[in-house]
């Protein structure tokens, strides 16, 4: 019988790579070097396909994402997304702007639970605008509902009333099903963390808030081992600055989640550090599909300069290791290598403080790969001894 090579025996995992615009291709390119490393380490064959999204897709196909790319996304196990947008597409009508590419992916794949960790690495605590003792070791996970709410509600638009006054309308809407599934995701994740969920709404002034709180309480009954608290969104914005360490998992709607997760991001110093994952509804017959992307945009001011910090994108792949490949150990190994690199003093421009030497995005990735080699070799030595 023919010998079966390691590659043939490897588990396959299909990854659709959508670099997008601006620094998207730079940071995703660096991340693929890390994907390669973990392919060898875990014995996984990553089957990688590339596609166009955002401005890059508008230029080539006339639309921010094509049906063919959406179809590829539906077939993939996970999607690694860069960032979209740039000044040259700012004046296009809303329906064909670059960001419609990501909104369509979220809707067509029903990616409803957007997970945004805000982790403050002690090695760069000085990059935060808050005092070190307030943010050191902050580890918050914001679970944001991402397929409903005011960004999707109808009717919407700007009209001119009979008296000539212009009037803008957005509609905030969520069904109990949409609220329940994202709350369930938050409770499930809390079970893997500190068993604490804070649900954030505006139940004092909004009907959607009243339903949000009612449903969160109902789902909470299914998780008696997780403690559930409630907070109004405005208070949460204040508490994140006053005492961020009180939070572990926060679950909230699309609009509040968008704002609060950017605020939590600022606690950690730089947009260039913050990853995210967006998960689809769990289907027991196959692994949960998800999209992984940094929370920052396409940073056109630094594109093609090898200046972008690749960490947010690399840590997004770390979330893929955890949530799609179910390997919290591999994700933790990557976190350790990132911390090791930061502890050695490597800084891209966005996280360098006065007088610190600035390195390129590629140099940062080189150091992470060297850290992965070193830490995994140490682990092997310990296991063998």
Q: Give the shortest CB-218-to-ligand NAD separation in angstroms.
A: 32
Go through 81-111 and write b for each residue having 16 or more CB atoms within 10 A of its CB, e for each that does not. bbbbbbeebeeeeeeebbbbbbbbbbeebeb
Q: Which residues pair with 279 in a beta bridge?
A: 113, 290
234 as an active site residue: the answer is yes
Q: Which of positions 315-374 make contact with ligand NAD (CB under 6 A)?
A: 348, 350
Q: Give the shortest CB-102-to-ligand NAD separation in angstroms.
A: 6
C-alpha 274/C-alpha 124 separation (Å) is 13
41 as an active site residue: the answer is no
Please select the residue that binds ligand NAD; options are 64, 297, 318, 371, rule is CB under 6 A.
297
Q: Give the shortest CB-201-to-ligand NAD separation in angstroms.
A: 24
Give the containing element (helix H, strand E) for 368.
Answer: helix 361-384
Among candidate residues 40, 47, 67, 234, the one labeled active-site is 234
> Does residue 301 bind ligand NAD (CB under 6 A)?
yes
Per-residue binder mask for ligand NAD (CB under 6 A), 257-276, x = binder: --------------xx----
The answer to whether 338 and 274 have CB atoms below 8 angstroms apart is: no
8 as an active site residue: the answer is no
Structure-token match 């740039």, residue found:
86
The answer to whether 314 and 365 have CB atoms below 8 angstroms apart is: yes
> Does residue 309 bind ligand NAD (CB under 6 A)?
yes
Residues found in the chain: 385
- Contact region for ligand NAD (CB under 6 A) — 185-193, 242-250, 257-265, 296-304? 296-304
Output the six-digit token pair for 364.
Answer: 């940062």
Q: Give the shortest CB-303-to-ligand NAD separation in angstroms.
A: 9
- Contact region for ligand NAD (CB under 6 A) — 81-89, 105-113, 200-208, 322-330? 81-89
C-alpha 175/C-alpha 172 separation (Å) is 11
Helices 254-267/233-242 angle, 10° precision? 10
Which is nearer to ligand NAD, 29 or 297 (by Cβ)? Answer: 297
C-alpha 138/C-alpha 140 separation (Å) is 6
Please select the residue that binds ligand NAD; options are 44, 83, 200, 325, rule is CB under 6 A.
83
> Does residue 100 bind ligand NAD (CB under 6 A)?
no
What is the 8-class DSSP label of residue 354? T
Please select the residue that binds ligand NAD; options are 85, 209, 257, 275, rule is CB under 6 A.
85
Among candidate residues 258, 292, 323, 350, the one labeled active-site is 258
Among candidate residues 26, 112, 202, 223, the one labeled active-site is 202
Residues 6+ positions from 184 with CB-CB distance below 8 Å: 219, 222
C-alpha 27/C-alpha 307 separation (Å) is 10
Residues forming contacts to ligand NAD in the complex (CB under 6 A) are 23, 27, 83-86, 99, 102, 271-272, 296-302, 308-309, 312, 348, 350
Catalytic residues: 151, 202, 234, 258, 262
């Amino acid at each position: 019988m023919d010998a079966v090579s390691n590659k043939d025996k490897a588990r396959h995992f299909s990854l659709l790579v959508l670099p997008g615009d601006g620094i998207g291709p730079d940071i995703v390119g660096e991340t693929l070097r890390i994907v390669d490393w973990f392919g060898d380490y875990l014995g996984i064959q990553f089957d990688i396909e590339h596609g166009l999204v955002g401005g890059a897709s508008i230029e080539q196909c006339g639309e921010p994402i094509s049906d063919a790319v959406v179809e590829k996304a539906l077939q993939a196990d996970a999607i690694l997304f860069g960032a979209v947008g740039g000044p040259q597409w700012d004046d296009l009508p809303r329906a064909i702007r670059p960001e419609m590419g990501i909104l369509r992916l979220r809707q067509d794949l029903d990616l409803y639970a957007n997970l945004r960790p805000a982790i403050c690495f002690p090695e760069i605590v000085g990059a935060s605008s808050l005092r070190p003792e307030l943010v050191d070791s902050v580890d918050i996970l914001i679970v944001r509902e991402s397929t409903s709410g005011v960004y999707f509600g109808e009717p919407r638009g700007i009209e001119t009333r009979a008296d000539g006054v212009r009037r803008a309308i957005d509609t905030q809407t969520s069904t109990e099903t949409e609220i329940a599934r994202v709350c369930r995701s938050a409770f499930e994740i809390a079970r893997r963390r500190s068993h604490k969920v804070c649900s954030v709404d505006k139940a004092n002034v909004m009907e959607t808030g009243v339903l949000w709180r009612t449903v969160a309480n109902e789902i909470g009954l299914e998780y008696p081992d997780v403690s559930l608290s409630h907070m109004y969104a405005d208070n949460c914005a204040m508490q994140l600055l006053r005492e961020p360490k009180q939070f572990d998992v926060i679950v909230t709607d699309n609009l509040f989640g968008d704002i609060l997760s950017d605020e939590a991001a600022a606690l950690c110093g730089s947009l260039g550090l913050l990853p995210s994952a967006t998960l689809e509804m769990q289907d027991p017959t196959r692994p949960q599909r998800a999209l992984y992307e940094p929370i920052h945009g396409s940073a056109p001011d630094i594109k093609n300069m090898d200046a972008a910090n690749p960490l947010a994108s690399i840590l997004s792949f770390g979330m893929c290791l955890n949530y799609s490949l179910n390997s919290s150990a591999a994700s933790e190994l990557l976190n350790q290598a990132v911390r090791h690199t930061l502890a050695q003093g490597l800084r891209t421009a966005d996280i360098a403080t006065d007088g610190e030497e600035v390195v390129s995005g590629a140099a940062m990735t080189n150091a992470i790969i060297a850290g992965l080699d070193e830490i995994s070799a140490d682990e092997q030595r310990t296991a063998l001894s």
